[in-house]
């Protein structure tokens, strides 16, 4: 990834939060968006174990999620439909910091799920979401 994190997409994920299977796309217009706001990440959680095993790890996973809502990292989260995993929209300092954080998720330590990490740069938001994003330090370009 470039020092500014732009021009990179997650092309393949193997479940390891530190595995880097990315392709450099130098033509991506988002390279020109100022990096003065926190990095944003869409975290896709995919279950890799039977749902009964996921359920056993769920209370500890939810405590992990709650702790990151409390510190302002997580903005919205939920389940996939059908229930094959979940998603989290997170603000972070950089991809490496987010990967270190999710490596401590009880779903990961219990071996019942893996994450795909997508770095995103919001360029539009519904008016009702803008105050929450601003409170998280995310500014949408005008």
pLDDT digits (tens, 9 = 90+) for 46-65: 999 999 999 999 999 999 99
Could you report the per-residue pLDDT of 79-88, keeping only the tens digit for each?
999 999 999 9
Residue 90 near residue 40, CB atoms below 8 Å: yes
Q: What is the pLDDT of residue 134?
A: 83
Read off the tokens for 105.
């998720």
**Domain 34-135: CATH architecture, name and number where available:** 2-Layer Sandwich (3.30)
Closest CA to 28 of 58, 5, 51: 5
State the pLDDT at residue 26.
37
- Asked if residue 128 has pLDDT above 80, the reply is yes
Q: What is the spatial distance between Cα 53 and Cα 25, in angstroms, rounded to a whole number?
A: 38
- How far, in Å, CA of 121 to CA of 28, rounded? 12
Task: Identify the pLDDT of residue 63.
Answer: 98
77 closest CA partner among 64, 67, 63, 90: 90
pLDDT tens, residue by residue, 11-45: 334 444 444 433 333 333 344 444 455 689 999 99
pTM of the model: 0.72
Ordered by start, the domain boundaries in the chain are 34-135
């Amino acid at each position: 990834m470039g020092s500014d994190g732009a021009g990179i997409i997650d092309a393949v994920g193997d479940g390891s939060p530190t595995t880097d299977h990315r392709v450099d796309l130098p033509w991506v217009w988002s390279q020109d968006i100022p990096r003065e706001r926190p990095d944003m990440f869409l975290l896709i959680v995919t279950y890799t174990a039977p749902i009964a095993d996921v359920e056993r790890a769920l209370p500890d996973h939810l405590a992990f999620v709650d702790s990151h809502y409390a510190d302002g990292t997580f903005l919205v989260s939920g389940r996939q439909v059908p229930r094959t995993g979940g998603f989290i929209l997170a603000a972070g300092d950089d991809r490496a910091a987010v990967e270190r954080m999710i490596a401590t998720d009880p779903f990961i330590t219990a071996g019942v799920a893996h994450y795909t990490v997508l770095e995103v740069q919001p360029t539009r938001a519904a008016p009702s979401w803008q105050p929450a994003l601003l409170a998280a330090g995310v500014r949408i370009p005008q």
